[in-house]
Amino acid sequence: MDWIQGIQRALDYIEAHLTGELDYGAIAREAACSACYFQRLFGVLCGMSLGEYIRARRLTLAGRELAAGDAKVIDVALKYGYESPESFARAFQRFHGVTPSEARRDGSRLRSFAPLTVQITLKGGTYMDYRIEEKPAFTLLERVERHSVVDGENLNTIPDFWTRAKADGTLETLLSKAADRTYLFGVCYGNEPTDSKTFDYAIAAACDPALAAPDGLRVREMPARTWAVFPCKGAMPGAVQQLWHRIITEFFPGSAWEPTYELDIEAYPGGDMESPDYTCEIWVPVKKA
């Protein structure tokens, strides 16, 4: 499926189901990827979480209904997915700055959040370095944690995971067992393990396939794949997050390649990760679009 078409289909699906049960898996299927992976990409692309976007659209429509007629607050609350008038009132006031009852008065000031649409715009030309590389299967020794994409929590919890892994000796252990010490890897697995709001993230190093994993770690084989490899320069994690945005908005929309959505890897060599001259790579498994 075309990258742009898939994202737009997902946005259209959200808009058509704002007054019903919105299943994140069903949204993601419109874009032909897993629910968790779609939420990660949505956050990078749109600058807000999928949940925040849905709330903003629902509260926008709820405000219009209350301001326009005689709808009861409890009916509007239930229509837009709130289990009680109290929870609706709290969310409504945070968004609009007034209570639902105040919104029904003439002259009340409300906020509006317009639906997103995907557009191709012509801007000043920019360069993006990449290479397409066939990599044979390789094996990783990993420490794995589960992270949440709800409201973009992973943007904070993953850097914290790296900080803890350095402090508790995990990074040292991984490097001591590594068959190749060129990189430490951050691996985001695209298929959610148990639900649509969490994913497994691993800090890893390349190892021998026969290695017995120490306690708390696991050995996992990465299958042979075609990878799009993007060099990244700058202080972490900001530089890699900015590059992800460019990959999603600039590379894939006009590319002959599309991600497989299985996983992606950030490859970190040694060095000062807070330096503006630090360099690393993002590896994305791809297939012909």
pLDDT of residue 194: 60
Residue 73 pLDDT > 50:
yes
pTM across the whole model = 0.81
Per-residue H/E/C for the chain: CCHHHHHHHHHHHHHHCCCCCCCHHHHHHHCCCCHHHHHHHHHHHHCCCHHHHHHHHHHHHHHHHHHHCCCCHHHHHHHCCCCCHHHHHHHHHHHHCCCHHHHCCCCCCCCCCCCCCCCCCCCCCCCCCCEEEEECCEEEEEEEEEEECHHHCHHHHHHHHHHHHHHCCHHHHHHHHCCEEEEEEEEEECCCCCCCCEEEEEEEEECCCCCCCCCCCEEEEECCEEEEEEEEECCCCHHHHHHHHHHHHHHHHHCCEEECCCEEEEEECCCCCCCCCCEEEEEEEEEEC
Banded pLDDT at 97 (limits 50, 70, 90): very high
pLDDT of residue 122: 45
Question: Stretch 129-150: mean pLDDT, rounded?
Answer: 94
The 10s digit of each residue's pLDDT in 182-206 is: 999 999 997 655 667 888 999 999 9
The 10s digit of each residue's pLDDT in 35-47 is: 888 888 888 888 8
Residue 1 pLDDT > 90:
no
What domains are defined for the chain?
Answer: 3-103 (1.10.10.60), 131-288 (3.20.80.10)
% of the chain at pLDDT higher than 70: 94
